[in-house]
Amino acid sequence: MKGKFLDSLVLFGYAKSMYHENRHLGIFLFRIIEIVFTINIVILDLVVFHNFLSPATTSIATTAKISSPTPTPEILISSPPPTTVINQITGAKELFIPIGQGSTRGTDWTNVPGAQVNIDSTKYTSIKQVVFEVSLESPNNQIVSVRLYNTSDGHPVWYSEMSMDTPTQSLTSQPIQLDSGNKTYQVQMKTQLGYTVILDQARVHITLQ
């Protein structure tokens, strides 16, 4: 581009000298120089415009790449293997399925984070009895209620609800009925005064015939 600009200046000087010697030829050369200058200006504008757009285009592409949404991983609820114990007195086989632990302070029925499990009742034949067992801590003097909730079918597990009004206690429900098939069960709790309650342990206790 610099060379073309210098060429134009040389032509301008040459045209100026020719103008004094031959007016018509000088005018003709001035017209040519005018066209050359116009072309140089257009080319210069295009180069400047291209350099101006390039960083913006790169920035837009980089921004688009950074802002691409990250797929949310699917959260799967695992079914931990039950612990099998043989009752030394009755000889019956007993299974303990851990559900988890956590805490809450809700004054209405609230899901306890981390206390959820899948149980497929069809895997266990000849079930004699099923109960729900928990261990709770409530440092403040309040009534605490706990229950097992079937999130697959959207209803509480009947006869699983229990309450306590002491700082710590281990509770065992009445015999409960697990719904047929693979279901997700969630521990729910509610407090009387809104103080934090800790679920130390929750499990389903199955006794086989």
Q: Which CATH number fits domain 83-208: 3.40.50.300, 2.60.290.11, 2.60.120.1340, 3.30.70.20?
A: 2.60.120.1340
Structure confidence by residue, pLDDT tens digits, 6-56 = 455 555 555 556 555 666 665 666 577 667 667 766 566 665 555 655 554
Q: With a cut of 80, say whether residue 200 has pLDDT above it.
A: yes
- Output phi, psi for 77, to 5 deg: -95, 115
Residue bearing tokens 């004054």:
107
Sorting pLDDT into bands at 50, 70 and 90, what band is 73? Answer: very low
pLDDT of the residue at 35: 74
- Output phi, psi for 88, to 5 deg: -70, -20
Structure confidence by residue, pLDDT tens digits, 87-121 = 767 777 999 999 999 999 999 999 999 999 999 99
- Residue 91, classed as helix, strand or coil, is coil
pLDDT of the residue at 83: 82
The whole-angstrom separation of Cα 129 and Cα 177 is 8
pLDDT of the residue at 182: 97
Q: Could you please report the per-residue DSSP string of 128-191?
A: EEEEEEEEEE--SS--EEEEEEETTTTEEPTT--EEE-SSEEEEEPSP--PPSSEEEEEEEEEE
Residue 45 or residue 76, greater confidence: 45
pLDDT of the residue at 143: 97
Q: How far is CA 144 from CA 118, 136, 140, 169, 206, in A?
A: 25, 9, 10, 11, 25
pLDDT of the residue at 41: 66
pLDDT of the residue at 23: 61
Sorting pLDDT into bands at 50, 70 and 90, what band is 67? Answer: very low
* pTM metric for this prediction: 0.61
Q: With a cut of 50, say whether residue 2 has pLDDT above it.
A: no
Decide if 71 contacts 177 (C-beta within 8 A).
Answer: no
pLDDT of the residue at 60: 45
pLDDT of the residue at 194: 97
Structure confidence by residue, pLDDT tens digits, 124-142 = 989 999 999 999 999 988 9
Q: What is the mean pLDDT of residues 180-185?
A: 97
pLDDT of the residue at 135: 98
Please give the biggest Cα pair distance in the chain.
132
pLDDT of the residue at 61: 46
